Structure 1
């Protein structure tokens, strides 16, 4: 996902993320989220953690990293049927917390408000399937090309592309973005899918292939509901999310993926540029869990091994 003032698109070849083990979470029923969420159970004590001294003093003293996240994006972050917040990001954050001796506390918010939350210091970081792009690093509005903030730094921890999905058995010949001309697509507002849809709509109009209608929602689950009810021809979201919906919605009977992934790019933990010490601490912690094997266990648990990274990188997005 990405905030509305920044574009998630980044050049890169498609990278297919395995979906088999996503079914492990398939039996979980998805629910809506409130304004606040309970934090994960992870973290440790600073005095026992190997990388605690790398943290800024105020965070080390508090023992908490406040995380802004749009917790309605399974399997990356979402609530299970018991109301517990779970997902790839939660597990990665818990593992990082053990290295740093802090607790990652996730606070729920709509995605297009997360960068504002960083600027206002409501959050220490944002972690929400957030794609690392140059525009976001530089605080640039991709549509207007204007400066909207100081930008953020990213600690990249995963790679994912974007997929299109339809109602099962109703693909209407859709395989690529150009096949959406004359049709209606549903997306989450401000995401790379939204950006791609808007760009394709301009191409459709220019080429005289029919209007591409776009309906954007606050979260991906709302978009899925619209498609499921027959209110659109297709939906688009990050591949892990689309694959999870295909596996779980209606017991796997509601949707199907069409075509290949596009726009493979890194997910990153967003950190204010004013806090390089926290950025470097997170990078060191990510490298540590990659080295000790805990990262691979998390990625395998969720069945997304092909999206794994082999080392932490700062600002690797294009």
Structure 2
């Protein structure tokens, strides 16, 4: 979700899937939608972890970092065919947990509630393919320009742009956002794709606006396009590319044009917790240095989005 607004825009992007508590090897737990995670103590060893001393005492004592996430955004975080929660964010969080000696406990929620969950202290962090933008850093609603919260700090861990995709063999000449004028696009509510579609529609001439249908999650948008209910869909490049590769065995969709608005995904941390922010940054730098990060990014086939160092608030 992009540079000008947000890859999953300012505290929005809903993905609702009931996810049961699933233990992921090592230092990772996942909790069901609306449930607080009860982290077991059988995973990471705080005392032996190399960066445990960087954590705030409250987190170290609890042995867990509570993570708000919208777990329906493959390949970033999603349920596989066996019902197991997997994805890029899950693997990175596990590696961070091994450095810090705590579990990263994911709790499923709708994207547009995640930053509110940080403010209410339901979560310690939000990690959900959330684009780092100045508006989010400053607590500004990107559409209205009004202050809606205190803002967050981001630890940037990946880069991604936004893509358009169509039904395979039925591109209708669509290559750019301007080509969507007079057509219908489906996407996830509150994402950068949503922001871009609204902005582009205002530029359309001759009354040929873009018909925009926004859904709670990206998978619903894909279903709509697959059934012939729209001309195109849009989402983050890794998500669109994954859908093109996997939906219908690769027979449902195709990417059109180039990805745009490349920007960093960031792990959102409340501004009043710089100690936790800096601990996560140190852990991310450590897994980049030791090669674990590269293994994860390579595993998911998204090396084009890899970062070479952790940055704080690098979004524009």
TM over 0.5: yes
SS of equivalent to 2:25: coil
In the alignment, what sits opposite 1:75?
75
**Following TM superposition, by how much is the alpha carbon of 1:7 offset from its aligned partner in structure 2, in angstroms?**
3.1
C-alpha change, 1:78 and 1:239, in structure 2 (3 Å) is: same
**Following TM superposition, by how much is the alpha carbon of 1:82 offset from its aligned partner in structure 2, in angstroms?**
1.7
State the alpha-carbon separation in 2 of the partners of residues 42 and 197 from structure 1.
41
SS of equivalent to 1:190: coil
Q: Of 215, 218, 225, which residue of structure 2 is paired with 1:217?
A: 215
1:120-199 superposed matches below 5 A: 120-199=120-199
- CA deviations 1:198-238 (Å, max 9, x no partner) are 0011111xx22612100000100000000000000000000
State the alpha-carbon separation in 2 of the partners of residues 167 and 268 from structure 1.
31
What's the TM-score once normalised by structure 1's chain length? 0.89
State the alpha-carbon separation in 2 of the partners of residues 168 and 264 from structure 1.
24
State the alpha-carbon separation in 1 of the partners of residues 26 and 132 from structure 2.
25
State the alpha-carbon separation in 1 of the partners of residues 80 and 158 from structure 2.
22
How many residues align? The count is: 293
**Following TM superposition, by how much is the alpha carbon of 1:41 offset from its aligned partner in structure 2, in angstroms?**
2.5
Specify which structure has the bigger relative contact order, considering alpha-carbon pairs within 8 angstroms and separated by 6 or more residues. Answer: 1
State the alpha-carbon separation in 2 of the partners of residues 165 and 317 from structure 1.
25
1:55-134 superposed matches below 5 A: 55-134=55-134
In the alignment, what sits opposite 1:293?
291
**Following TM superposition, by how much is the alpha carbon of 1:33 offset from its aligned partner in structure 2, in angstroms?**
2.3
What's the TM-score once normalised by structure 2's chain length? 0.90
- CA deviations 1:100-150 (Å, max 9, x no partner) are 000011111111111111111111000000000000000001111110000
Q: Is the 8 A contact 1:160 1:265 kept in 2?
A: yes
State the alpha-carbon separation in 2 of the partners of residues 115 and 39 from structure 1.
25
Misfit runs of 4+, over 3 Å? none
Q: Is the 8 A contact 1:140 1:148 kept in 2?
A: yes
1:218-257 superposed matches below 5 A: 218-257=216-255
- In the alignment, structure 2 segments of 5+ residues that lack a partner are 9-14, 28-43
State the alpha-carbon separation in 2 of the partners of residues 40 and 134 from structure 1.
33
**Following TM superposition, by how much is the alpha carbon of 1:195 offset from its aligned partner in structure 2, in angstroms?**
0.3
C-alpha change, 1:37 and 1:214, in structure 2 (3 Å) is: farther
Q: Is the 8 A contact 1:167 1:254 kept in 2?
A: yes
- In the alignment, structure 1 segments of 5+ residues that lack a partner are 11-30
Q: Is the 8 A contact 1:9 1:195 kept in 2?
A: no
State the alpha-carbon separation in 1 of the partners of residues 261 and 274 from structure 2.
28
Instruction: State the Cα RMSD in Å.
Output: 1.7
